[in-house]
Amino acid sequence: MSIVSKDIQKAITLLTNEELVAIPTETVYGLAGNIYSEKAVTRIFSTKKRPFFNPLIVHISGGEVLKTIVSHIPEKAKLLADAFWPGSMTLVLKKNDIIPDIITAGKDTVAVRVPNHPVTLKLLKQLPFPLAAPSANPFGCISPTKPIHVERYFKNDIQQVLEGGSCTNGIESTIIGFENNQPIIYRLGALAIEDIEAVVGKVSIKNKKEHSPNAPGMLARHYAPATKTFLVEDIASMVKSQLGKKIGLLVFKDSLHDPSLTEIILSKKGSMHEAASKLYDSLHELDCKKLDVIIAERLPDIGLGKSINDRLQRATFSI
């Protein structure tokens, strides 16, 4: 029997009983549990096989909840929250004592966001606690953007995937930390840097290794298909070099017009937003086809293209 269901009441009961529920967000599906339940949070780590040194993002129902979990809100954090919440932006702020250490991996900061999905917002508004919710995939695997992806991964581990359709943004949130009250991008994501800079001016991007050398989202290889995958600028010559193999192609907007290849076009009209929303689903699809190799095309390095290239880089062998 399928574990995918629209029953919000069931999700409330499970979460209140310290169980896990996979929840829809506009970025990716999350594996959610009560942040104040040690049992639930421990199960998030064990179900995902996620190392404990990687902190979790806390999901809240609205900006007004923020002051109950953090001790200081810089002026630019307020501006960003007002501009982009609910939305695909996570803020890392000094935490309150109320936030358990297991959520933050012992750090004195907590990552928090208001997800922009009607089902999950409704759920969060009815719960008396926030939800910790990392992506609902085993450590290192491709993130889930459809209920079926989560069901394939965790049908024997959890009781419910709360149905919320396909994720409209399709890649993880942009993470912003603060140093001397100035915003710094810690992880590229579904909110483009250009949009952030329109609100708070120029922001710096911190070298990922410097910021968090061990955090899985920051590992050189993460979000990875089981099939060997390459990221290249020039797909045509890469295809030639792999002759005789069963090849899957992931291209941005232009087809290679070669019927012997299994090809997915991310956005025929060249929309970065559409490409991001289809990225993980396309990788899931190609990974299921028993191919010898997947070749992904690097996108233009502007706007969301930067974030998509970041994810593809971690999913693949770059040459």
Distances in whole angstroms, Cα of residue 292 to Cα of each of 148, 226, 229, 287, 312: 24, 10, 9, 10, 18
Q: For ligand AMP, which is the closer residue by CB, 173 or 297?
A: 173
- Shortest Cβ distance from residue 173 to ligand AMP (Å)? 7
Compute the Cα dihedral for 210, 211, 214, 220 and give only its sign: negative
Q: For Mg ion, which is the closer residue by CB, 140 or 300?
A: 140
Category of 10 on φ-ψ map: left (φ > 0), alpha (ψ -120 to 50) or beta: alpha
- Decide which of Mg ion, ligand AMP, none touches 147; Cβ closer than 5 to 8 Å per partner kind: none
The whole-angstrom separation of Cα 303 and Cα 273 is 9
> Which of 52, 54, 48, 43 has its CA nearest to residue 15?
43
Give Dmax over CA atoms of the chain in angstroms: 59
- Decide which of Mg ion, ligand AMP, none touches 189; Cβ closer than 5 to 8 Å per partner kind: none
- Decide which of Mg ion, ligand AMP, none touches 228; Cβ closer than 5 to 8 Å per partner kind: none
Q: For ligand AMP, which is the closer residue by CB, 188 or 286?
A: 188
Q: For Mg ion, which is the closer residue by CB, 37 or 135?
A: 135
- Shortest Cβ distance from residue 41 to ligand AMP (Å)? 13
- Decide which of ligand AMP, Mg ion, none touches 57; Cβ closer than 5 to 8 Å per partner kind: ligand AMP
- Shortest Cβ distance from residue 194 to Mg ion (Å)? 24
Q: For Mg ion, which is the closer residue by CB, 169 or 247?
A: 169
> What type of residue sits at position 7?
D
**DSSP tag of 30:** E
State the residues that interact with ligand AMP by CB under 6 A: 54-57, 92, 104, 107, 109-111, 134-135, 172, 175, 177, 186-187, 212, 215-218
Check: CB of residue 144 under 8 Å from CB of residue 153.
yes
- Shortest Cβ distance from residue 205 to ligand AMP (Å)? 13
- Shortest Cβ distance from residue 134 to Mg ion (Å)? 5
- Shortest Cβ distance from residue 217 to Mg ion (Å)? 6
- Decide which of Mg ion, ligand AMP, none touches 183; Cβ closer than 5 to 8 Å per partner kind: none
Q: For Mg ion, which is the closer residue by CB, 135 or 173?
A: 135
Q: For ligand AMP, which is the closer residue by CB, 54 or 263?
A: 54
Distances in whole angstroms, Cα of residue 302 to Cα of each of 83, 209, 310: 21, 22, 12
Return the residue nearest Mg ion (CB atom): 135
Both tokens of residue 221? 């290889």
State the residues that interact with Mg ion by CB under 5 A: 135
- Decide which of ligand AMP, Mg ion, none touches 144; Cβ closer than 5 to 8 Å per partner kind: none
- Decide which of Mg ion, ligand AMP, none touches 212; Cβ closer than 5 to 8 Å per partner kind: ligand AMP
Compute the Cα dihedral for 194, 197, 203, 206 and give only its sign: negative
* Terminal-to-terminal C-alpha distance of the chain: 43
Query: Per residue in 133-166, is it b (16+ CB within 10 Å) or e — as a string?
Result: bbbbbebbbbbbbbbebbbebbeeebbbbbebee
- Shortest Cβ distance from residue 208 to ligand AMP (Å)? 8
Kindly give the residue spans of alpha helices, DSSP state H, lying in the chain.
8-16, 38-48, 66-69, 75-84, 101-104, 118-126, 147-154, 193-200, 208-211, 235-241, 272-287, 304-315
- Shortest Cβ distance from residue 111 to ligand AMP (Å)? 3
- Decide which of ligand AMP, Mg ion, none touches 71; Cβ closer than 5 to 8 Å per partner kind: none
DSSP calls for 274-305: HHHHHHHHHHHHHHTT--SEEEEEPPPSSTHH
Q: For ligand AMP, which is the closer residue by CB, 104 or 159?
A: 104
